């Protein structure tokens, strides 16, 4: 199992404790890290807000605004470093915040800047990835695409329950075989469940 922390994990200033508990339970926690599992590369970080496209917040004015924007930039740089380290034929990105506006559609537009940031999309245009999974926008949309055509999936629990009401809330992504034997790559299937 792989995971990234989300905003609720930071609410009580206990993120390190949450991280430690999950690691003790053998969950591979990603925070700007790259991890290979059964021949599939995973890169992940929490991400941050800031808005999308022309609505992105700029680092100008008050110190608090500059700090907010810097957090989004720092998370995007973590993601870029993580993705750049992957040497696997298949690469999956895990985030909490969305890198595109399309998967937060359905939420009130006023809160879009707090649901993700286009800055997270930038590394996805520089390095090839198979898909991006995120949560956080519980009333958003299941699927969208980056400007480069990479599928972005909002796998928040409420969206999965709404989209697939007759089954357990998970999303199954089947990856094409790469010449590696099925035993080595677990039949090239990544089963990603986000309980956000």
pLDDT recorded at residue 136: 96
**Residue 116 phi/psi, 5° resolution?**
170, -175
How far is CA 139 from each of CA 8, 111, 128, 145, rounded to the nearest angstrom? 16, 12, 28, 18
Domain boundaries, the chain: 30-192
How far is CA 22 from each of CA 30, 60, 89, 136, rounded to the nearest angstrom? 11, 37, 28, 19
Residue pLDDT, tens place only, 170-190: 999 999 886 544 434 333 333
Give the whole-angstrom CA distance, residue 78 versus residue 69. 14
Of the CA atoms within 13 Å of residue 132, those in its CB half-sphere come to 35
Residue pLDDT, tens place only, 59-81: 999 999 999 999 999 999 999 99
CB 96 within 8 A of CB 196: yes
pLDDT recorded at residue 193: 42
Could you say which DSSP state residue 79 is in? H
Q: Of 141, 136, 120, which Cα lies nearest the Cα of 53?
A: 120
Q: Name the burial class of residue 182, with classes exposed (0-12), middle (13-18) and buried (19+) by CB atoms within 10 angstroms of its CB.
A: exposed
Low-confidence ranges of the chain (pLDDT < 70): 178-196
How far is CA 191 from each of CA 126, 143, 169, rounded to the nearest angstrom? 25, 16, 12
pLDDT recorded at residue 179: 56
């Amino acid at each position: 199992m792989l995971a990234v922390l989300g905003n609720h994990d930071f609410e009580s200033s206990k993120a390190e404790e949450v991280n430690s508990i999950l690691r003790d339970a053998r969950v591979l926690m990603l925070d700007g890290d790259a991890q290979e599992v059964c021949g599939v590369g995973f890169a992940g970080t929490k991400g941050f807000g800031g808005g999308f496209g022309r609505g992105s917040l700029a680092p100008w004015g008050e110190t608090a605004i500059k700090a907010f924007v810097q957090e989004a930039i720092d998370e995007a740089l973590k993601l870029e470093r993580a993705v750049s380290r992957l040497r696997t034929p298949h690469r999956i990105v895990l985030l909490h915040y969305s890198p595109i506006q399309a998967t937060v559609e359905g939420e009130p537009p006023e809160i879009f800047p707090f649901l993700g940031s286009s800055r997270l999309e930038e590394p996805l245009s520089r390095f090839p990835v198979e898909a991006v999974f995120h949560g956080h926008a519980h009333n958003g949309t299941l699927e969208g695409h980056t400007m480069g055509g990479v599928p972005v999936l909002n796998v928040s629990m409420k969206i999965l329950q709404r989209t697939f009401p007759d089954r357990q809330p998970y999303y199954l992504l089947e990856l094409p075989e790469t010449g590696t034997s099925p035993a080595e790559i677990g039949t090239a299937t990544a089963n990603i469940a986000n309980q956000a």
